[in-house]
Amino acid sequence: MLCKRLFGNSNQFGLEQEFVKKMDAIQIELLEEYKYVDKICRDMLGVEKGVTAYIEQLDETPMIVRYWIAEWNDEYRQLKHIR
């Protein structure tokens, strides 16, 4: 009964459930990709926290270098947000 009040007919609730399943799958895939990148960073940098150490290196990138690399700031912000 509550589902019908929240989502209307039961078919709409089914669509909501399908959406949640897809979002869960996307989040799981993102987490798996993040762990893969983190492992690469850990191996390359020889540190415990791979992505965090990589971001710390990016923090030290001189402004002139950031300026010459297309979309550097956008990529940097997205990586920090995902972490």
In a domain, 4, yes or no: no
Contact criterion met (CB below 8 Å) for 72 and 24: no
The answer to the question of residue 2 being in a domain is no
**53's tokens:** 């150490």
Identify whether the C-beta of residue 66 lies closer than 8 Å to the C-beta of residue 72.
yes
Helix ranges, the chain (H): 2-7, 10-45, 50-59, 63-68, 72-82
In a domain, 44, yes or no: yes
**What residues make up the domain containing 60?**
10-82
Distances (CA, A) of 20 to 4, 14, 28, 60: 17, 10, 12, 39
| Token pair in block for residue 66 | 């950031």
What is the pLDDT at residue 1? 46
pLDDT in tens, 59-77: 998 999 888 988 888 888 9
Q: What is the pLDDT of residues 15-59, one digit of tens each?
A: 677 777 777 888 888 888 989 999 999 999 999 999 999 999 999
In a domain, 5, yes or no: no
Total structural domains within the chain = 1
